[in-house]
C-alpha cells in the first residue's frame, strides 16, 4: 500500500522503516522536498522509499500517518492540502506537547478537547484514528521488545472501518489482538493525550523510555 | 495512630474501614457532625471509629487523608481549618473531576497545575503526598484482588519523610515495595490527575472498574 508518513522525527523514521520492511511504499513528507532528515532516512532504504513535501506525500498515500510534533500538526495538514487527505484514513500518533516553557511540557490542547478531535473537526471527511501515541517509537513497531509483547495499545475514532484498518497495521507491527483496546469515538483521544504527563513522569523516575503499561484485572 | 478521613464517599469509607482493621483510630470528617453517610459507616464499626466535622476530624488526626471530591477539596480544607492541618502529613487521594457538564467529566485543575499543588501552595506547612488517586477504591486497600497484587501505584510530594510515611501506609494496605513508584515532587501530581480521563475510558470500554496498570519494561 502507498503510505504517507508526515514528519521526519524519530516516530516518522521508525514507523516509515517498519512499513517498508512490511512491503509498503512509503513517502516521507516534510516542509521542503530536500529536508535533511528525510534524505538521511531515504539513504537507508534501497527501494519503496521516497520523500517529498507534505502535499506530495499526502497525495501519494492511501493512508496518512501523522508523525509530526502535535503543536505543528494543524499547520502541516494545511500544507498537505485538504484535497490530498479528504476521505482518507489518518492515523494520528502525535501528542500536542508544548515545550515553549521548557521541561516538562504542557499540552497545547487539553481537557475538553484533543488534537485528534481538532483534526477530525477541521477535516470532517478524514477518517481519524488516534493510535500509538502512548509510548516510545521503538516499541510502537516492536512490542515484543518487552514483556513478550504483552502490554497494551489503544485506538479510538469515529469510523469503524478506519479503526479496523488501524488494527491491521498494529497487528502487522506485532501487536496481539487481545492487547489492542478500542476506547470508542475520537473524543477518547483526550485521555490518550492527557496520559503523556504521567508517561513523562514514569520515564523520568525510571530513566527508561522502553516501557509501556499493561492493564491487569 | 489517630487518622482523619475527610470525605464520606466510597473512598473515605473504604479506606476508613481498612485503617480500623489495621488498628488505627479513625475519625471521619464531613460538613456536619450528623452526616448520614458518616453515621452509617460508624454503625459498621464497634470501636476505634468516630465521626465529626471536618475541623474536628482534622484536629484529631495526626495524618489527614483527603478523600473528598476534588472540586470540593479546597473548601473542605478551609472548613477543616489551617491550624488543624498545619505541619501534618496529608495524603491527597482526590481527583478534581468536574461533572457539571455531565459525563465524561473534565478536570477543574489541569495541565500546568494540579489539585495537589493547589493544596501545597495554599498550605505550605502541610506535607502533601499524592497517592492512590489512579484506581477504584476497592483496589486501593486490597491490591491482591487482581494479578496477585502485581501492579503499580504512584506517589509524589516535596517532603521525603511524608512520602516514607505514605509508603508505610501503602505497604500496610498490601502494596509491594517494588510496585510503589515515587515520581518525584508534588508537580508530578499533574500526570497522576490527568491520567483519570484515560482511566475512565478504559473503564467504559471494558465495563470493569477493578483494573489497574502495571508498568512493564
- Mark the ranges of chain A whose per-residue pLDDT is less than 50: none
Kindly identify which residue of chain B lies nearest to residue A102, measuring between CA atoms. Answer: B112
Interchain pair A197, B191: CB under 8 A: yes
Which residue in this structure is represented by grid cell 471521619? B28
User: Min CA distance, B43 vs chain A (Å)?
Assistant: 32
Is residue A213 a part of any domain in this protein? no
Length of chain A, please?
A: 217
Cα–Cα distance list, A103 to A97, A197, B154 (Å): 10, 11, 21
Is residue B178 a part of any domain in this protein? yes
Q: Which domain holds residue A142?
A: 2-206
Cα–Cα distance list, A94 to A107, A114, A187, B60, B209 (Å): 12, 11, 15, 49, 28
How many angstroms separate the CA atoms of A63 and A170, rounded?
Answer: 14
Is residue B149 a part of any domain in this protein? yes
User: Min CA distance, A181 vs chain B (Å)?
Assistant: 8
- Mark the ranges of chain B whose per-residue pLDDT is less than 50: none
Which residue in this structure is represented by grid cell 499547520? A75
- Helix%, strand%, coil% for chain B, nearest 5: 45, 20, 35
Kindly identify which residue of chain B lies nearest to residue A209, measuring between CA atoms. Answer: B217
pLDDT of residue B46: 83
Is residue A216 a part of any domain in this protein? no
Interchain pair B213, A214: CB under 8 A: yes
The set of cell numbers assigned to B153 is 501505584
User: Min CA distance, A174 vs chain B (Å)?
Assistant: 16
The answer to whether the CB of A135 falls within 8 A of the CB of A163 is no
Q: Which residues of B sit within 8 Å Cβ distance of A?
A: 104, 106-107, 110-112, 146-147, 150-151, 154, 156, 181-184, 187-188, 190-192, 194-202, 204-206, 208, 210-217
pLDDT of residue A113: 98
Is residue B43 a part of any domain in this protein? yes
How many angstroms separate the CA atoms of A196 and B159, rounded?
Answer: 25
User: Min CA distance, B71 vs chain A (Å)?
Assistant: 15
The set of cell numbers assigned to A93 is 500518533
Number of domains making up chain A: 1
**C-alpha of A48 from chain center:** 20
**C-alpha of B111 from chain center:** 20
pLDDT of residue A46: 83
Minimal Cβ distance to A217: which of B201, B204, B210: B210
3-state secondary structure at position A47: coil
Interchain pair A194, B192: CB under 8 A: no
Interchain pair B202, A214: CB under 8 A: no
How many angstroms separate the CA atoms of B62 and B214, rounded?
Answer: 32
Is residue A158 a part of any domain in this protein? yes
How many angstroms separate the CA atoms of A124 and B47, rounded?
Answer: 61
β-strands A106-107, A97-98 pairing: antiparallel
Minimal Cβ distance to A111: which of B111, B191, B206: B111
Look up the CATH number of the domain holding residue B51.
Answer: 3.40.50.720
User: Min CA distance, A14 vs chain B (Å)?
Assistant: 19
Is residue A215 a part of any domain in this protein? no
pLDDT of residue B96: 98
pLDDT of residue A187: 98
Is residue A212 a part of any domain in this protein? no
The interface predicted TM-score of the complex, written ipTM, equals 0.97
**Range list of β-strands (E), A132-195:** 153-157, 180-182
Which residue in this structure is represented by grid cell 487521594? B93
How many angstroms separate the CA atoms of A42 and B11, rounded?
Answer: 55
Q: What angle do CA A117, A118, A121 make, to 5 degrees?
A: 80
Provide the angle, in degrees to the nearest 10, between the axes of the packed helices A115-122 and A73-80: 30
Residue in A57, A63, A62 with CA at minimum distance from that of residue A38: A57
Write out chain A residues lying below 8 Å of B206, CB-based.
Answer: 181, 215, 217
Amino acid at each position: 500500500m502507498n503510505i504517507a508518513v508526515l514528519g521526519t522525527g524519530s516516530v516518522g523514521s521508525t514507523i516509515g522503516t517498519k512499513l517498508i520492511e512490511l512491503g509498503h511504499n512509503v513517502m516521507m513528507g516534510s516542509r521542503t522536498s530536500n529536508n535533511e532528515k528525510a534524505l538521511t532516512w531515504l539513504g537507508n532504504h534501497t527501494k519503496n522509499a521516497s520523500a517529498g513535501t507534505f502535499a506530495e506525500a499526502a497525495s501519494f498515500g492511501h493512508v496518512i500517518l501523522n508523525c509530526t510534533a502535535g503543536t505543528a500538526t494543524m499547520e502541516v495538514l494545511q500544507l498537505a492540502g485538504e484535497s490530498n487527505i479528504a476521505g482518507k484514513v489518518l492515523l494520528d500518533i502525535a501528542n500536542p506537547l508544548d515545550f515553549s516553557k521548557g521541561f516538562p511540557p504542557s499540552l497545547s490542547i487539553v481537557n475538553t478537547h484533543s488534537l485528534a478531535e481538532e483534526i477530525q473537526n477541521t477535516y470532517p471527511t478524514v477518517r481519524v484514528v488516534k493510535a500509538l501515541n502512548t509510548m516510545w517509537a521503538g516499541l510502537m513497531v516492536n512490542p515484543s521488545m518487552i514483556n513478550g509483547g504483552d502490554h497494551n495499545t489503544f485506538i479510538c475514532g469515529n469510523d469503524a472501518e478506519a479503526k479496523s484498518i488501524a488494527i491491521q497495521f498494529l497487528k502487522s507491527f506485532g501487536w496481539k489482538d487481545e492487547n489492542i483496546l478500542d476506547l470508542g469515538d475520537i473524543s477518547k483521544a483526550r485521555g490518550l493525550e492527557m496520559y503523556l504527563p504521567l508517561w513523562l513522569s514514569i520515564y523520568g523516575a525510571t530513566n527508561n523510555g522502553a516501557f509501556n503499561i499493561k492493564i491487569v484485572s
